[in-house]
Amino acid sequence: MIENVLLDLDDTLLSFRKSEKKAIKKTLAAMGLRRGKSVIRLYSAVNAQMWKKLERGEMTREQILVERFRILFRELGVSADAFKAKQLYEENLKNSVFFVRGAKSFLKKAHKKYRLYLVSNGTAAVQDRRIEIAGIARYFNGIFISERVGFVKPDKAFFDACFSFIPDFSRDKTVIVGDSLSSDIAGGINAGIRTCLFIPSKEAKKQKNGEGVVACAPDYRVKNFKRLLLLLKRI
């Protein structure tokens, strides 16, 4: 029986894609740069690559937060201040919150039956503000952000640090739910807990087609929060 549910934040509970799109548009507009669909797609692709490097330990958080803009501006052939873009973007991002459909209702129901823990690789200052705006902190028994923990998902050390704060912790009674194969699912496998990939059918198709695929498979897959609640009851 499941007692502990570890939940990812971005694109699991809150839509990072929507917030990212809004934040990068506002950032580029403030800097007088073009911000069409192709530019937004380019930034998203560069940003995703940078975070994968963080997960693999190839770059530090401080490096990627600026480097992603250096790469973007180089690809666009413009001369712009990457550090200024980083500051503007983070300010815009942390004030942008969109719930994934069904997330708020899920939290209201699930926190009465399970101990919920938030696990995120996002920047602490940004996530703190987004959690505050969303008003979801009250549903969690603990909030673990990698920047404060000192390790990032999927590192086993991140999960071990989290587990040390969970009373009467048991791996057999714990599951992680998230949208990322490379951080959430691989991390859960590394930590020896059950794993559930939370991903809409459209995104699942992308991963099947090879985008961001890693050599791991989740124990379970769900497409929405109604199915997640049903899953938690039976495992």
Helix (H) or strand (E) holding 115: strand 115-120
Same domain, 85 and 147: no
Same domain, 8 and 47: no
pLDDT of residue 214: 52
Domain of 201: which CATH number?
Answer: 3.40.50.1000
Q: Which SS3 state, helix, strand or coil, does residue 76 take?
A: helix
Task: Give yes or no: residues 185 and 77 share one domain.
Answer: no
- 195, 153 contact by CB (below 8 A): no
Domain boundary among 39, 59, 94: 94
> What is the C-alpha to C-alpha distance for residues 78 and 73, in angstroms, rounded to an integer?
5
Examine the domain organization and report whether 105 and 170 are in the same domain.
Answer: yes
Name the strand (E) or helix (H) holding 222.
Answer: strand 220-222
The average confidence (pLDDT) of the chain is: 93
Same domain, yes or no: 134 and 46: no
What are the structure tokens assigned to 68, written together? 């992603």
202 is in which domain, residue-wise?
Answer: 4-15+99-234
Tell me the per-residue pLDDT of 18-60, one tens digit each, with 9 for 90 and over.
999 999 999 999 999 987 889 999 999 999 999 999 999 999 9
Residues 163 and 184 in one domain: yes
Rounded to 5 degrees, φ, ψ at 37 are -60, -40
Residue 205's pLDDT band, with cuts at 50, 70 and 90, is very low
Q: Are residues 197 and 216 in the same domain?
A: yes
Q: Which tens digits make up the pLDDT trace of 75-106? A: 999 999 999 999 999 999 999 999 999 999 99
Please state whether 210 falls in left (phi above 0), alpha (psi between -120 and 50) or beta.
Answer: left
For residue 212, the model assigns a pLDDT of 46
What's 43's domain CATH number? 1.10.150.240
- The strand order across the sheet containing 4-7 reads 142-145, 115-120, 4-7, 174-178, 194-198, 220-222
The verdict on 60 and 125 lying in the same domain is no
Q: Per-residue b/e over 69-87, b at no fewer than 16 CB within 10 Å?
A: bbbbbeebeeebebeebbe
Mean pLDDT of 157-164: 98
* Domain end call among 94, 115, 143: 94
Q: What is the pLDDT of residue 209?
A: 38
Whether residue 58 is found in the same domain as residue 142: no
Q: From the CB of residue 100, how many other CB atoms can be counted at a distance below 10 Å?
A: 22
SS3 at position 101: coil
Question: Which DSSP helix (H) or strand (E) runs through 25?
Answer: helix 16-30
Report the C-alpha gap between 157 and 161 in whole angstroms. Answer: 6
Q: What is the pTM of this model?
A: 0.90
Q: Are 57 and 125 found together in one domain? A: no
Number of domains in the chain: 2
- In this predicted structure, the answer to whether residue 211 has a pLDDT above a threshold of 50 is no
**Domain C-terminal end among 94, 109, 127:** 94
**β partners of residue 214:** none
Q: Identity (one letter) of the amino acid at 90?
A: E
| Matching residue, tokens 């797609």 | 41
Same domain, 114 and 194: yes
Going by the DSSP 8-state scheme, the letter that residue 99 receives in this structure is B
Q: Which of the pair, 136 or 37, is modelled with greater confidence? A: 136
CB-CB contact of 29 with 141 (8 Å): no
Helix axes 225-234, 103-110, angle to 10 degrees: 30
